[in-house]
Amino acid sequence: MKPLEDDVLDGNAIGGKLIELFGIEMTTAVGTCGVCGNAGQVAEMAVYLMQMGTVVRCRVCDNVLMVFVEVRGVTCVDLQGLASLS
Amino acid sequence: MAGTAVRGRLTWQTATVDSVIDETPTVRTLVLGVPDWGGHQAGQHLDIRLTGDDGYQAERSYSIAAAPGEPVAITVERLDDGEVSPYLTEDVQAGDELEVRGPIGGYFVWDPARPDGDVPLLLLAGGSGVVPLRSILRHRSQVGSSVPTRLLYSARNWDEVIYRSEFASPAPGVEVIYTLTRQQPAGWTGYARRVDQAMITEVAWPVAQIPMAQIPMAQMPVAYVCGPTNFVEAVAADLVALGYPPQRVKTERFGATGTP
Amino acid sequence: MSPISRGFHRRHEEAEPAGRVPPGQYVTHDFPVLSAGPTPHTPLERWTFSIEGGSSPVSWTWQEFQALPSETVTVDIHCVTRWSKLDTMWKGVSLDVLLDAVSYDDPYVLAFCDGGYTTNLPVADLKGGKAWVAYSYDGKPLPAEHGGPARLLVPHLYFWKSAKWVRGLRLKQVDAPGFWEMYGYHMYGDPWREQRYAGD
């Protein structure tokens, strides 16, 4: 696993956003990457938190697992990169 | 009561700044009055939301510095080019209002009631990453835990060490080890460099010589690493290289804030 | 209703409209780095720029690309996150030169990049001296964090259209949304009409 760049965060940083979207604590939820099969807790996923949106990637293969974009107060959530999330 | 706790957790609520404590020239602790606070666990964080009089809002996350049951408090480091931290560390006064959401986080939590709360504890802090670890140490004292505990705290210089007086008298079974990476006071005999593999090998509870088959995972030490992302990446890799199973290394990354 | 936090205000005030700054923007002297993924590091000996979907695909290696006629331009850039940076200097190859190498009748492109980023643009917005593939910023080779070795530069649109780490264009008959466009950002992105999100 190559090291994350300095300004990259992890799933802990979006704990509040995830409670807001899913109604429950999610940092310990286990997500499986749809590309490489790596299974890991949300807290350990790579989080690119930008004003444009939030992109969550697999630590092993960089595949995009989740994307959150807020437009006019509504958040678009894309979880297509995950094979599963439990 | 359970209903109230859940509501507080999921929604924003108004909090009042009760008092402020200047920990260092650039770091301040804010003690908050949060009427519907449902309690928290050691290591969790909360989200803050500020609203300007033009309606502009900014949200940030801060680790909770207080142990469970203590008045809610956060410790904020002033970032030179920040939008929220200069306000919280310089402008805010007792009586000011802001919004709070929390507690948040079930991953970076130390709970003495869980099996991994009863094993040797290794805490590794880079700069302001010490905040959630201080909550853990205070909780350990609260419950009278005797698990062997070490805090390795990396700071740029002695003036930037947060909670200095508290760490000067650690609880029984707790060792605090500093490394001052840029400047050291005269006569300093401690570590004086960024955390590296050699330092980790000297400080971490040894695991390499424990054959994995003989010690169940549940009895292995657990490590909590918190601070800037580059600090966490290096330290977590060093621990794994030393033999710590990745699942015994919990990480919380603060991004590029504050170089180690 | 959120309580007002006494004395809190946004860090950047909007710029005085002076004709150069689109509505809702402020002028910065920094050059913020915004990335949705890790910085790619494609070695130059493996780098190519391609245009696909025309009568036949065309591709240039880094050496071939450096041999193409280039221009140095000074332009203002405008990010959808509200910062504008004035008088930025770039050197690169005009899309007029690149598109002239292909025979096509498609009205749109999808730009594709190392790391998987995509963004869509009308061909008309790449022609007529409005767009470049830039490999130098401020007189120096474009740093990786800002999209080097080469990025798209389309300054008349919001800067998310100036795709970093660009590797080529796919000519298309339809305007297919790229990465951010799929999540609600505007398909065209004119900063002067404040087209930040779909429906603006």
User: pLDDT (tens digit, 9 = 90+) per residue, C131-185?
Assistant: 999 999 999 999 999 999 999 999 999 999 999 999 999 999 999 999 999 999 9
CB contact under 8 A, A15 and B105: yes
Peptide bond into B170 cis (omega under 30): no
For residue A20, the chain B residues in CB contact (below 8 A) are 10
For residue C107, give the nearest of C194, C197, C176 by alpha carbon. Answer: C176
Domain coverage including residue C95: 45-193
Q: How far apart are CA A31 and CA C26, in angstroms?
A: 39
Q: From the candidates B13, B53, B230, which should be mutated to test the interface with C, based on the most C CB atoms within 10 A? A: B53
Averaged pLDDT, A19-46: 96
Q: Please indicate, yes or no, if residue C174 is contained in any of the structural domains.
A: yes
pLDDT band at residue A34, thresholds of 50, 70 and 90? Answer: very high
pLDDT at B9: 55
Q: From the candidates C2, C4, C5, which should be mutated to test the interface with B, based on the most B CB atoms within 10 A? A: C5
Q: Please indicate, yes or no, if residue C29 is contained in any of the structural domains.
A: no
Q: By CA distance, what is A52's nearest residue in C? A: C81
Q: Please indicate, yes or no, if residue C199 is contained in any of the structural domains.
A: no
Closest CB to C4 among B51, B58, B93: B51
Q: Phi, psi (5° rounding) for residue B215?
A: -110, 120
Q: Are C185 and C197 in contact (CB under 8 A)?
A: yes
The strands making up B249-253's β-sheet, listed across from edge to edge, are B174-180, B149-155, B121-126, B222-227, B249-253
For residue C7, the chain B residues in CB contact (below 8 A) are 87, 91-92, 96
Q: How far apart are CA B57 and CA C10, in angstroms?
A: 8
Contacts 24+ apart (CB under 8 A), B87-94: B87/B50, B87/C5, B87/C7, B87/C8, B88/B28, B88/B30, B88/B48, B89/B26, B89/B27, B89/B28, B91/C7, B91/C8, B92/B17, B92/B20, B92/B30, B92/C5, B92/C7, B93/B17, B93/B20, B93/C6, B94/B17, B94/B18, B94/B19, B94/B20
Q: How far apart are CA C97 and CA B82, in angstroms?
A: 43
Q: Please indicate, yes or no, if residue C35 is contained in any of the structural domains.
A: no
Q: Are B147 and B140 in contact (CB under 8 A)?
A: yes
pLDDT at C137: 98
Inform me whether the C-beta atom of residue B255 falls under 8 Å from chain C C-beta atoms. no
What distance in Å separates residue C101's CA from the closest CA in chain A?
34
Q: Please indicate, yes or no, if residue A4 is contained in any of the structural domains.
A: no
pLDDT at B173: 98
Could you tell me how many CB contacts below 8 A there are between chain A and chain C? 52
Regions of chain B with pLDDT less than 50: 1-8, 259-260
Q: How far is CA B208 from CA A77, B217, B221, B234, in A?
A: 42, 13, 11, 18
pLDDT at B214: 65
Q: What is the domain count for chain C?
A: 1
For residue B106, the chain A residues in CB contact (below 8 A) are 25, 27-28
* % of chain B surpassing 90 pLDDT: 87
For residue B92, the chain C residues in CB contact (below 8 A) are 5, 7
Q: What is the domain count for chain A?
A: 1
- Touching A (3+ Cβ pairs <8 A), the chains are B, C
pLDDT at A79: 96
| Statement: residue C53 has pLDDT above 80 | yes
For residue A15, the chain B residues in CB contact (below 8 A) are 45, 61, 104-105
Averaged pLDDT, C49-58: 95
Could you tell me how many CB contacts below 8 A there are between chain B and chain C? 46
What tokens appear for B226 in the block? Answer: 């918190």
Q: How far is CA B164 from CA B120, B143, B155, B204, in A?
A: 23, 22, 12, 22
Q: Please indicate, yes or no, if residue A55 is contained in any of the structural domains.
A: yes
Closest CB to B105 among A7, A12, A49: A12
Bridge partners (DSSP) listed for residue B15: B98
Q: Please indicate, yes or no, if residue A1 is contained in any of the structural domains.
A: no
| Statement: residue C19 has pLDDT above 60 | yes
For residue B249, give the nearest of B232, B233, B236 by alpha carbon. Answer: B236
Inform me whether the C-beta atom of residue B80 falls under 8 Å from chain C C-beta atoms. no
Q: From the candidates B57, B64, B104, which should be mutated to test the interface with A, based on the most A CB atoms within 10 A? A: B104
Inform me whether the C-beta atom of residue B15 falls under 8 Å from chain C C-beta atoms. no
Q: Please indicate, yes or no, if residue C108 is contained in any of the structural domains.
A: yes
Q: Please indicate, yes or no, if residue A2 is contained in any of the structural domains.
A: no
CB contact under 8 A, B256 and A43: no
Domain coverage including residue A59: 9-85
Residues of B226-256 as b/e, b for ≥16 C-beta within 10 angstroms? bbbbbbbbbbbebbeebebeeebbbbbbbbe
CATH number of the domain encompassing residue C136: 3.90.420.10
Domains, chain B, ordered by start: 2-103 (2.40.30.10), 115-253 (3.40.50.80)
Q: What is the per-residue pLDDT across C84-136, written as a single tens digit (0 to 9) for each? A: 999 999 999 999 999 999 999 999 999 999 999 999 999 999 999 999 999 99
